[in-house]
Amino acid sequence: MLPNQTIMLMDSENPILYMKTSNGMGQSTLKYYKLVESSEQEIRNQNVVQPQPTQNGAEYVLKSEFEALTKKFDDLSKRLEKPFKNEKNVDKGGNQ
């Protein structure tokens, strides 16, 4: 086996895969994986984002939700920085 190479080996008698990886010096490690048959529905359900348990009452948001909120905040900040179109010169007493 060549250095810095990974190969997958299949067991012909058991539902097991072996992943053999060599480092830069050619030394190998072997990892074992069990194959478990699944239905298409089970695989699709695994791809659904499940809420993660929180520790110490912490709550988390998705990156996409955070970015959407940041965009709204930036838009509102820009609107507040610009003077209003209908604003006229008003003295301290409120007279025009």
Residue 89 pLDDT: 54
- Map out the domains of the chain as residue ranges: 1-36
| Highest mean pLDDT pick, 19-28, 73-82, 87-96 | 19-28
- Identify whether the C-beta of residue 61 lies closer than 8 Å to the C-beta of residue 51: no
Sheet with 6-10, side-by-side order of all strands: 6-10, 16-22, 28-34
pLDDT digits (tens, 9 = 90+) for 7-40: 999 999 999 999 999 999 989 999 999 998 888 8
Put simply, whether the predicted model's pTM sits higher than 0.85 gets the answer no
